[in-house]
Amino acid sequence: MKKIIIIISFTVFTICLNNILYSQVDPQILNWYNGNKGMQTQKGYKKIKNRKSSTVIVAVIDSGVDIEHEDLKGKIWTNSKEIPNNNIDDDKNGFIDDMHGWNFLGNSKGENVDGATLEKTRILRDLTKKFKDVDPVTLSSKEKEEYKLYETVKSDVQADIENYSQYLPQLEMLPMMIQNIPTMISSQIGKEIYTQADLDKWKPSTDELKQLKQIASAILSGDLSLKMVEDQKKQITEMLEYNLNIDFDERLIIGDNDDDFSDTKYGNNDVEGPDALHGTHVGGIIGAIRGNNLGADGVANDVQLMVLRAVPNGDENDKDIALAIRYAVDNGAKIINMSFGKGYSTHQKEVFEAFQYADSKGILLIHAAGNDNKDIDKEPNFPTSVYNFQKEKLDLFLTIGASTRVKKEMLAADFSNYGQKGVDVFAPGHEIYNSVPQSKYMKLQGTSMAAPMVAGVGALLVSYFPTLSMHEIKEIILQSSTSYKGTKQHLPGSETLVDFGTLSVTGGVVNVKNAVKMCLALEKNKISK
């Protein structure tokens, strides 16, 4: 599931959902991830300003991309072997009219999936048919293991339904509260028109007034609005109607058997789909046009984005992901960005085999660590680079945590997953301003934003240093990261201070300037030999 984080914390309102931040962009936030507080991308480019680049294809497996976005002009991959809209598979790759990639969430009629169930909901749906009226005492040992899973997912789904249901009546109250805030504030501070500075001077005496001040500040900054509340209501409603509803089956639209990985004749070429906000933002981070004063700059300058729509508003299906990876490899992608994840996976071996296939072809796989502020060494976020059944290590798989602009005690984003073995490195993922559909721009955050930072860095290095192997590029990304080992940082989701070195393999944040320097040195060393 694609997850971006918003947190409203006003005593009674505490919501953590995959949603957006609607505030106006602060000049300090615009393009920060490419600057000194981020990955020092601009300084990296200065070191290679006289070098020529070659185009690198990056596959974006996501919710879809607005391929007509003004800041992505010339950045969308086109299948030159395919004749547009002739309803013929010209290049005989198994996909008809796949001009810019493929949509694995649709059918030949042009219908597309938007809302989808969570993986645990699917598991519950299947196991309910088997265990709903069964006495567990009568079950075999193998069946008891399944029954245990049934009880776990049943409890999880029910807890989520109860949790999200309680927010709807609270959100109904917020619009009236937002509209009344100016009057309420004015009566307290004696000003009809007030600024944040006025609010800062005000020292509320009760908890209720402190909450009032907090809400007013959020409204002034743009972090709370009527539109945001409406979108939250819409999202919770969809969560209950689709994500957590065992009676809903999105595969009926697609028309395939999602347990049969040989059943591949499905989908369509609508790579934008009904909701491309997440994927367009991810694509912009990787390759939005640099230096055009629109939105923010992409990390990679000479890149083509191959769009593979496989992530709905719900959990992605393992089959779609495995087939999307194979499509990317077979059609020329050098890097695959995967800004999605889930807590359960029913076809782990098939996904791992797709990873192995990409690995064998020298393709760099970049995966977001997830936004549950949990230790994925203990609680996996699927897909993962290390499965229980796995015997061989994947050579070209990186898992990315999200970092912030703040280096003192708050370097790791409070939502980011972490893991001393499972997360390789951190990259900017907090307050990232970039492209969204209809040639608009928005500030989003999540490890979904951190992963394309690294995909962009990988593309940049491959583009300017074609003689280096992908293994060398991967190792340089890791070794050149700015190390914060030994610094005390908040454990994500907690006030506890820990050594940043315990949150990932490297204990570092990606640094483009350092990576370019290492590439130049390695290239020079190779030539001298």
d(CA 318, CA 340): 11
Q: What is the CATH code for 31-114+252-528?
A: 3.40.50.200
Structure tokens belonging to residue 8: 């409203």
DSSP-assigned states of every residue in 171-192: HHHHHHHHHHHHHHHHHHHS-S
Q: Minimal CA–CA distance to 185: which of 159, 204, 165?
A: 204
pLDDT attached to residue 186: 93
pLDDT attached to residue 12: 36
Task: Give yes or no for a contact between 54 and 300, defined as CB atoms under 8 angstroms apart.
Answer: no
d(CA 274, CA 442): 18
**Whole-prediction pTM:** 0.92
Bridge partners, residue 101, by sequence: 307
d(CA 65, CA 268): 14
| Residue 395, CA distances (Å) to 337, 359, 475 in order | 16, 7, 10
C-alpha torsion sign, points 517, 523, 524, 529? positive
Q: Look at strands 13-18 and 5-10 and give their pairing.
A: antiparallel
Determine the 3-state secondary structure of 261 from DSSP.
Answer: coil
pLDDT attached to residue 7: 38
The structural domains of the chain, with segments of one domain joined by +, span: 31-114+252-528, 119-165
d(CA 369, CA 421): 12
d(CA 507, CA 477): 13
- Phi/psi for 401 (5° steps) reads -90, 165
pLDDT attached to residue 1: 74
Q: How confident is the prediction along the chain (529 residues), in pLDDT tens digits per residue?
A: 765 444 343 333 433 444 434 445 778 899 999 999 999 999 999 999 999 999 999 999 999 999 999 999 999 999 999 999 999 999 999 999 999 999 999 999 999 999 999 999 999 999 999 999 899 999 999 999 999 999 999 999 999 999 999 988 888 888 888 899 999 999 999 998 999 999 999 999 998 899 889 889 988 887 788 888 888 888 899 999 999 999 999 999 999 999 999 999 999 999 999 999 999 999 999 999 999 999 999 999 999 999 999 999 999 999 999 999 999 999 999 999 999 999 999 999 999 999 999 999 999 999 999 999 999 999 999 999 999 999 989 999 999 999 999 888 999 999 999 999 999 999 999 999 999 999 999 999 999 999 999 999 999 999 999 999 999 999 999 999 999 999 999 999 999 999 999 999 999 999 999 999 999 999 988 887 6
| Residue 147, CA distances (Å) to 120, 161, 193, 345, 422 in order | 14, 21, 61, 17, 29
The one-character DSSP state at 446 is S
Q: Minimal CA–CA distance to 390: which of 355, 343, 342?
A: 355
d(CA 179, CA 13): 17
d(CA 281, CA 118): 23
d(CA 42, CA 32): 10
pLDDT attached to residue 229: 87
Peptide bond into 383 cis (omega under 30): yes
